[in-house]
Chain A
Amino acid sequence: MKHIISALVENKPGVLAHVAGMFAARAFNIDSLVVGRTEDPKLSRMTIVVVGDDRVVEQVRKQLAKIVPVVKVQDFAGQPMVARDLMLITISAPADKRPEILSLIEMFKGRVVDISTKQLMVEVSGPESKIEAFIDACKPYGIKNVARTGTIAMPRQGQAEVKS
């Protein structure tokens, strides 16, 4: 099962290597690991998607917390949260297919960010399932390249889903 774990870490050199090294050394299975600064310049947030049963994830959580520069660890399992991936995807788009591709992009609330005679680059963000669905939908046209960020997530404070 996939778990999304969020770790607030000190924004210092070597912390990512320490965290990644711990995962490798303990044979934990990382699906994705995303790091970025937070509102506090001294802290970064790592969002780590881990595959494993509850026992494995419990160990991951504890081993992460044990790393000295890791300030706080949260497992979002069972909590209301927002999880997002960002993807840039280049699709083969000859003139005759372009209208239907554009309507597909519209359906997924994607954005064309680059265009050439033969292809389009599209930016799509959303839950992982939406990203996967968009990739599937694009397959018949021909996918040239994909770049994905991996998942970032935050717990919801309010209970209602607010559409953006």
Chain B
Amino acid sequence: MSPKSRSAAVSADKSTSKAGAQIIVDTLIDLGVDTMFGYCGGVVLPLFDRLYDAPIRVIVPRHEQGGCHMADGYARASGKVGVVIATSGPGACNLVTGLATALMDSVPLVALTGQVRTELIGNDAFQEADTTGITRSVTKYNSIVKDIKDLSRVIHEAFYIASTSRPGPVLVDIPVDIQVARYEADGPVKMDLPGYKVQTKGHTRQISATAAAINKSEKPVLYVGGGVVTANASEELRALAQKAHLPVTMTLMGLGAFDQNSPESLDMLGMHGSAYANYAVQECDLLIAIGARFDDRVTGKVKTFAPNAKIIHIDIDPTSISKNVIVDIPVVGDAKYILTELLKEVEFRERAAWFKRIAEWKKKLPFTYDKKVSTIKPQYVIEELCRQTKGEAIVTTGVGQNQMWAAQFFKFSRPRQFISSGGLGTMGYGLPAAIGAQIARPDATVIDIDGDHSFNMTMTELATAVEHKLPIKVCILNNGYMGMPRQWQELFYGKRYSCSCLQNPNYADVAKALGAAGETVEKKADVPKAIEKLLAEKRPCVFDFRIEREENVWPMVAAGKSLNEMDGLDILESMA
């Protein structure tokens, strides 16, 4: 056969069938994917080869964990499904923390992993890992494709499962021979999920019972979680709070679901929540939880949580209901749907005495700090960030004190504005999540409020931000400690700061070395100017704020205590 006729034969073959890798790419395009995060490797080369010509932007992280958090930040900022690709073995293993983070916070994410050739599976082949086995407990669902006929269907199912009901990460493991094999599709893709039911509509009688309970209540509190953000139900929430005149407190994940500048806002509740939210919950006669899961960081001691309240729980996930706290009225369904229905039945009620009581707590015990000292207080940096961005920025965080201060002192008004690892508490989340968020929202100001040690964990991703010219702004609240462990060691371990103090690099130099802008801020008086400069910066930049080293997060409900048994109230009261 002459070279010419051979190529004609190949193209004839190609016209009737497609390689697995091409099926993956075409399916992703069909599903509306235009951006994804992926790290190359031996067994995903066929896929990357097809992506070379595809209208999909691929962002390459410096570590798969970073890529997974980027896809997660992208999903949280955009409301779309985040997509991450990794190779087999070490690549797939490096996704685990990112998947667990997304699972705990119900983030729609699809992870595609390469796998060794089908016939090698189970033989300890080079770069083989039992990816579906390893990731089973950190995904909403996962599967391995062993037949090219199933490939497109399984990817469709992955997107559907990831983005519906209570969203979560779904992993699809694809052996390299499946990516190379050819298949001629025979008709449209039909999903086959007999066990997966999405219940969006809540029970009518339960919704009426909820409305009746709200109408009767003297001292109600709405307790709102990330589910309201996920369900895009913020408008309905605002309407409900106004129509029925209800105070609203949010979990860490719920921040942004309700405008914190509204008079009804009680800000965050829980371990480091506001004193007024915690008191209100402990004193209320009706607690309406929406898209929240009664996490131990919220409830404190479960036995004494909201002791006087009838509890209503609205959630799309039935397993969340009565898991930690027994509920009086369960309503299973989508928050947007249920709030819309509730709105029809609730009535306005003045509740003047209740709001007066709340206002007194707010006045007496606000979130505050010592403003007279000459050192840089982390809270001051955050307040200044909030002031200068007019509260409009998208904020991501690391985990620990930096995260709690960001939650306490930045006032969020819109959903998808605060992006933080709530459930798993993943250090190192802030920077890659900021990259994902900036890619999802190119016009937004994206600030990563980070801790020094959270930043240490994934700081190489700065190179990714530089490569893609993303103007993300990293503010390190640098106290030279793992702040939260240090605070606990101070309070509960006699100030024995075991292993919570490590030597840090000069972050400004690190930033510069990686191609970003970097600056160190050591004086309180320089903070406003520095932030001005940071916000004007068009490159990725790292501002290293050397904050007061032993500042604590107050108030604090120690583990095992009731919500109204807060430490640090005397400190807040003295500075109010």
Taking Cβ atoms with an 8 Å cutoff, the residues of A that contact B are 9-10, 12-14, 17-18, 21-22, 25, 55, 58-59, 62-63, 65-72
- 20 A-B contacts (beta carbon < 8 Å): A9-B195, A12-B143, A14-B132, A14-B144, A21-B136, A21-B137, A59-B322, A59-B323, A62-B318, A62-B319, A65-B318, A66-B318, A67-B195, A68-B140, A68-B193, A68-B195, A69-B195, A71-B194, A71-B195, A72-B195
Closest 4 CB pairs of A and B: A71-B195, A68-B141, A62-B319, A70-B195
Chain A hits for B505, CB < 8 A: none
Chain A hits for B136, CB < 8 A: 14, 17-18, 21
B170 to chain A, nearest CB (A): 9
Q: In the docked arrangement, what's the CA distance between A12 and B141, Å? A: 13
Chain A hits for B132, CB < 8 A: 14
Chain A hits for B193, CB < 8 A: 68
Number of chain B residues close to chain A: CB under 8 A: 19
Residue B196 interfacial (CB < 8 Å): yes
Q: In the docked arrangement, what's the CA distance between A110 and B194, Å? A: 40
**Quick one: closest B residue to A70, CB to CB?**
B195
Q: In the docked arrangement, what's the CA distance between A128 and B317, Å? A: 35
Q: In the docked arrangement, what's the CA distance between A62 and B320, Å? A: 9
Interface string of B112-148 (1 = CB under 8 A from A): 0000000000000000000011001100110110000
A26 to chain B, nearest CB (A): 10
Are the C-beta atoms of A59 and B133 separated by less than 8 Å?
A: no
Residue B19 interfacial (CB < 8 Å): no
8 further contact pairs, Cβ within 8 A, besides A10-B194, A12-B143, A21-B136: A10-B195, A14-B144, A55-B322, A62-B319, A66-B318, A67-B195, A68-B140, A69-B195
Residue B161 interfacial (CB < 8 Å): yes
Are the C-beta atoms of A63 and B319 separated by less than 8 Å?
A: yes
Are the C-beta atoms of A59 and B319 separated by less than 8 Å?
A: yes
**Quick one: closest B residue to A65, CB to CB?**
B318
Are the C-beta atoms of B322 and A58 separated by less than 8 Å?
A: yes
Chain B hits for A9, CB < 8 A: 195
Which of A17, A67, A68 has the most B CB atoms < 10 Å from its CB? A68
**Quick one: closest A residue to B320, CB to CB?**
A62
Chain B residues 193 to 226 lying within 8 A of chain A, measured CB to CB, are: 193-196
Chain A hits for B318, CB < 8 A: 62, 65-66
Q: In the docked arrangement, what's the CA distance between A55 and B319, Å? A: 11
Q: In the docked arrangement, what's the CA distance between A68 and B196, Å? A: 5
Chain B hits for A65, CB < 8 A: 318
Q: In the docked arrangement, what's the CA distance between A10 and B191, Å? A: 14
Q: In the docked arrangement, what's the CA distance between A62 and B143, Å? A: 22
Chain B hits for A67, CB < 8 A: 195
Q: In the docked arrangement, what's the CA distance between A68 and B172, Å? A: 14
**Quick one: closest B residue to A63, CB to CB?**
B319
Chain B residues 286 to 326 lying within 8 A of chain A, measured CB to CB, are: 317-319, 322-323, 326
Q: In the docked arrangement, what's the CA distance between A4 and B307, Å? A: 34
Q: In the docked arrangement, what's the CA distance between A12 and B317, Å? A: 24
Q: In the docked arrangement, what's the CA distance between A14 and B161, Å? A: 17
**Quick one: closest A residue to B161, CB to CB?**
A68
Chain B hits for A63, CB < 8 A: 319
B35 to chain A, nearest CB (A): 26
Chain B hits for A59, CB < 8 A: 319, 322-323
Q: In the docked arrangement, what's the CA distance between A139 and B456, Å? A: 64
Q: In the docked arrangement, what's the CA distance between A14 and B140, Å? A: 14
Q: In the docked arrangement, what's the CA distance between A18 and B138, Å? A: 11
B59 to chain A, nearest CB (A): 29
Q: In the docked arrangement, what's the CA distance between A63 and B323, Å? A: 10
B150 to chain A, nearest CB (A): 11
Chain A hits for B141, CB < 8 A: 68
Chain B hits for A25, CB < 8 A: 137
**Quick one: closest A residue to B165, CB to CB?**
A66
Chain B hits for A66, CB < 8 A: 317-319
Q: In the docked arrangement, what's the CA distance between A13 and B145, Å? A: 11
Chain B hits for A72, CB < 8 A: 195
Chain A hits for B143, CB < 8 A: 12, 14
Q: In the docked arrangement, what's the CA distance between A57 and B478, Å? A: 47
Chain A hits for B326, CB < 8 A: 55
Interface string of B90-106 (1 = CB under 8 A from A): 00000000000000000
B18 to chain A, nearest CB (A): 25
**Quick one: closest B residue to A60, CB to CB?**
B319
Q: In the docked arrangement, what's the CA distance between A62 and B319, Å? A: 5
**Quick one: closest B residue to A14, CB to CB?**
B132
Chain A hits for B133, CB < 8 A: 17
Chain B hits for A14, CB < 8 A: 132, 136, 143-144
**Quick one: closest A residue to B133, CB to CB?**
A17
Q: In the docked arrangement, what's the CA distance between A21 and B139, Å? A: 12
A33 to chain B, nearest CB (A): 16
B160 to chain A, nearest CB (A): 10
Chain A hits for B322, CB < 8 A: 55, 58-59
Chain A hits for B196, CB < 8 A: 68
**Quick one: closest B residue to A71, CB to CB?**
B195
Q: In the docked arrangement, what's the CA distance between A21 and B142, Å? A: 13
Which of A18, A55, A63, A72 has the most B CB atoms < 10 Å from its CB? A18
**Quick one: closest B residue to A43, CB to CB?**
B194
A111 to chain B, nearest CB (A): 38
B248 to chain A, nearest CB (A): 28
A60 to chain B, nearest CB (A): 10
Q: In the docked arrangement, what's the CA distance between A21 and B161, Å? A: 20
B332 to chain A, nearest CB (A): 10
Q: In the docked arrangement, what's the CA distance between A72 and B143, Å? A: 20
Chain A hits for B137, CB < 8 A: 21-22, 25
B61 to chain A, nearest CB (A): 28
Q: In the docked arrangement, what's the CA distance between A21 and B318, Å? A: 20
**Quick one: closest B residue to A10, CB to CB?**
B195
Chain B hits for A10, CB < 8 A: 194-195
Q: In the docked arrangement, what's the CA distance between A72 and B317, Å? A: 16
Q: In the docked arrangement, what's the CA distance between A70 and B195, Å? A: 5
Q: In the docked arrangement, what's the CA distance between A12 and B195, Å? A: 12
Chain B hits for A69, CB < 8 A: 195
Q: In the docked arrangement, what's the CA distance between A70 and B133, Å? A: 17
Chain B hits for A71, CB < 8 A: 194-195
**Quick one: closest B residue to A66, CB to CB?**
B319
Q: In the docked arrangement, what's the CA distance between A59 and B322, Å? A: 8
B145 to chain A, nearest CB (A): 12
Q: In the docked arrangement, what's the CA distance between A25 and B100, Å? A: 13
**Quick one: closest B residue to A25, CB to CB?**
B137
Q: In the docked arrangement, what's the CA distance between A7 and B194, Å? A: 13
Chain B residues 141 to 193 lying within 8 A of chain A, measured CB to CB, are: 141, 143-144, 161, 193
